[in-house]
Amino acid sequence: MTDPLGQSQILPYLAGLSKHGYVFTILSFEKKERYAAQKHIIESFVANAGIEWIPMSFTKTPPLLSKFYDVIRMKRKAFALHREKKFDMVHCRSYIAADIGLKMKKKFGTKFFFDMRGFWADEKKDGGAWKDNHPVFKRVYSYYKRKEAEYLQDADHIISLTEAGKKEMETWVAYNPATPVTVIPCCADMSHFTLTSSEQKLAARKKLSIGNDKLVISYLGSIGSWYMLDEMLELFAIIRKSYSNAFFLFITHSEVNFIRKKAGEYSIAIEDMLITEASREEVPFFIKASDINISFIKPVYSKLSSSPTKLGEVLSTGIPVIVNRGVGDVELIVKQTDSGLVLKDFSTETMEEVVKQISDLVKLDAGNIREKARDIFDLDRGISLYERAYHKLFS
């Protein structure tokens, strides 16, 4: 819960569902440093929402085996909590939690709500964390693909982040057509990510010491694994050839020196970029310094099920985007919302074509982008879809 995603993609939904009469106990694992820094914020939030929070600490060593130990700890704690509270349902976010939820269904008869989030085992494989040529990780991958089949067969309801992921899932042998599947993308709190005004853009640039004459290209979020830093830097370098005033703003907690070193490989000067961290409260303000936001994600198999949180947040502010195809429903969404450009590939020719369209891109109506995005990403819509799924399950 102390991670940024916990505060944007878990707690707001549960707070909204609590208003519909559902009573929650959250069992979560927390990183030591984040827990120390954010504990009081989460405790205050859950207290106001009438939610009970049971935080547990991660075990770090030995690698891999420590994760299995944490699963055992989670199972014991979940079973003990059930004996005390007699849960009606276990809402399981991703695969590790689903393993506990399925066990609880079989032992206690609780409803098993599988909030799949994505193709987790395939993400680990595609991202290189579980290498095919490593015998241990190869077995771990096979184990979780078998477990994935069990989750799909025995779930009482499934949540997919994307229509593309749902469509792919429906081709799997393990998929049970009798099990309802609801598609809910990673939504955005549109009262937090508000429409960008010219005054706010100027204020954000002043705060960040970015000149008002700059064409600001921004990137929001982590660097590494799925996020294609080289390709984004290459595009920016090409943009600089046509727009000498182009400026690259990174809003990220990732390593500054790593990004600067990579930028140097594309002859991007330090004075033409800014790399800054931002809290959840600061992100909407900082992103409003942008003219365009870019995000390139590896278009691998597992990303069919991916719904980038940043997309809904950026579009809520009305800022146009440049993205790539092959990632969940991103291409479809950008076209539906008339909010930007979609790269078909990462060739120099394609990037040069994109640069030719920048003058039109920055003229897109921010209010129109936001209103069209509301129909897809509004947090209240996400809460309503969850409530409908809950109601169907309990009815």
pLDDT at residue 60 tops 90: no
pLDDT at residue 171 tops 90: yes
Q: What angle do CA 276, 280, 286 make, to 5 degrees?
A: 45
pLDDT of residue 314: 98
- pLDDT digit string, tens, across residues 201-234: 999 999 999 999 999 999 999 997 789 999 999 9
Global pTM value = 0.93
Query: What is the rounded average pLDDT of the residues 307-331?
Result: 97
Token pair listed for 148: 């994935």
pLDDT of residue 225: 78
Query: Per-residue confidence at 83, pLDDT binned at 50, 70, 90?
Result: very high
Strand pairing class (215-220; 181-183): unpaired
- pLDDT digit string, tens, across residues 229-278: 999 999 999 999 999 999 999 999 999 999 999 999 999 999 999 999 99
Query: Per-residue confidence at 62, pLDDT binned at 50, 70, 90?
Result: confident
pLDDT at residue 157 tops 90: yes
DSSP character at residue 191: T
pLDDT at residue 64 tops 80: no
User: For residues 286 and 312, is the Cβ–Cβ distance under 8 A?
Assistant: no
Name residue 343's beta-bridge partners.
Answer: 324
- pLDDT digit string, tens, across residues 288-303: 999 999 999 999 999 9
- pLDDT digit string, tens, across residues 331-370: 999 999 999 999 999 999 999 999 999 999 999 999 999 9
The class (CATH top level) of 198-377 is: alpha beta
Query: Per-residue confidence at 61, pLDDT binned at 50, 70, 90?
Result: confident
- pLDDT digit string, tens, across residues 109-149: 999 999 999 999 999 999 888 888 889 889 989 999 999 99
Counting residues of the chain whose pLDDT is more than 90, the rounded percentage is 90
Token pair listed for 143: 């184990």
Domain-by-domain residue ranges, the chain?
Answer: 59-187+379-394, 198-377
Counting residues of the chain whose pLDDT is more than 70, the rounded percentage is 100
Burial classification of residue 127, based on how many CB atoms lie within 10 Å of its CB (0-12 exposed, 13-18 middle, 19 or more buried): middle
Q: Quick one: fold of 59-187+379-394? A: Rossmann fold (3.40.50)
**Ranges of H-type helices in the chain:** 4-9, 11-18, 32-49, 65-85, 94-108, 120-126, 135-154, 163-169, 198-208, 229-242, 256-265, 283-287, 309-316, 330-337, 348-356, 358-361, 366-377, 379-394
The helix/strand/coil state of 45 is: helix
pLDDT of residue 255: 92
pLDDT of residue 13: 97
Phi/psi at 321 (5° precision): -130, 160
pLDDT of residue 25: 98
Element (H, E) at 155: none
Query: Per-residue confidence at 395, pLDDT binned at 50, 70, 90?
Result: confident
pLDDT of residue 76: 97
pLDDT at residue 63 tops 80: no
- Whether 198-377 and 59-187+379-394 are alike in CATH topology: the answer is yes
Instruction: Output the average pLDDT for the chain.
Output: 95
User: For residues 159 and 389, is the Cβ–Cβ distance under 8 A?
Assistant: yes
User: For residues 275 and 256, is the Cβ–Cβ distance under 8 A?
Assistant: yes
